[in-house]
Structure 1
Amino acid sequence: MKDNIVLIGMPGVGKSTVGVILAKILGYKFVDADIVIQEEEGCLLKDIIKRDGVEGFIEVENRVNASLNVNKTIIATGGSVVYGKEAMEHLSNIGTIVYLELDYETLNKRLTNIKSRGVVTKKGQDLLAIYEERIPLYEKYADITINECGLNVEETIEKIVKAMEVTNV
């Protein structure tokens, strides 16, 4: 049954912030997938990447997200969740995928240090390269796209709630 809302998008778009408030408004639970990964692995995201490499981290992220068993929950995913085919299939089966979209310029201003945040970067990739690589994946998996340009958190949440009503989810 699809009674969850899954937030996807680049690091820095506000998935966790929006997710917590949206959960309160809708009376849902809230799960931050990155925190679940850290709890299961017993270390920070950046340390998992250091320990297992980028590909190893993506495997861990894929496994953890593919095994989430929740209902009436807002799930804030990590920005790289879209690299995991099994995770995205599972999340699509259990929830409505909401892509929080933000232009590169705004994102670049928000994200000062992508390494300390545990952002998955392949060798030689900068934020623009990650952005360009992931946008088609976010668009592919999204049931609903919310463009956040010029919106504050409350306005973003309002748009999500309206979009959910329109799609009868």
Structure 2
Amino acid sequence: MGIYWCGRLGIAQALLQNPSVLILDEPTNGLDPAGIREIRHYIRRLAEEHGVAVIISSHLLSEIELMCDRIGVIKDGELVTIQTVHDSTDSEQDSNQVQMEVSSAEKAMELLKTEYEIEAKLTRGLRTFQSQREEIPKIIQTFVRNEILVYQVMVSRATLEDKFFDLIGENVIE
């Protein structure tokens, strides 16, 4: 059993040798959506069913998030961290981005600031702020008690891209 380095065109050839480790460089680059999905599922199946350690080098963080269990982040040639992609304990503690459509935006913003010490901003007509998951129902209850109608609530967790920029301490958009 050897270690093989190959691009997506060499995957089949490398697998003929029954490797224990497979290193892929941008394996979904240039594929159509169906091909990307097929490669993604195939790579996961290789790892889960055949015990092949698959190492993927990619700049497509959204693909890595769907394909991998663990990530290693490299900055300036140095390994910064190794983390699990979907760690349930982290996801419960991470701050969520919350967007709400409410009847009285100014009153809602004031309550967020005074009751929860949260600064909200206006994004595409919605009040947007960061909050822990367990605080969201409490915030909605506070709004309702204060006669603020809540029309819409959208909650999203930080993406792998968000976590990446947090880890390397840089932000592309200033």
Relative CO higher for 1 or 2, CA cutoff 8 Å, sep ≥ 6? 1
**Max radius of gyration: which structure?**
2
TM-score, normalising length: structure 1: 0.26
Structure with more of its chain in helix, by fraction: 1
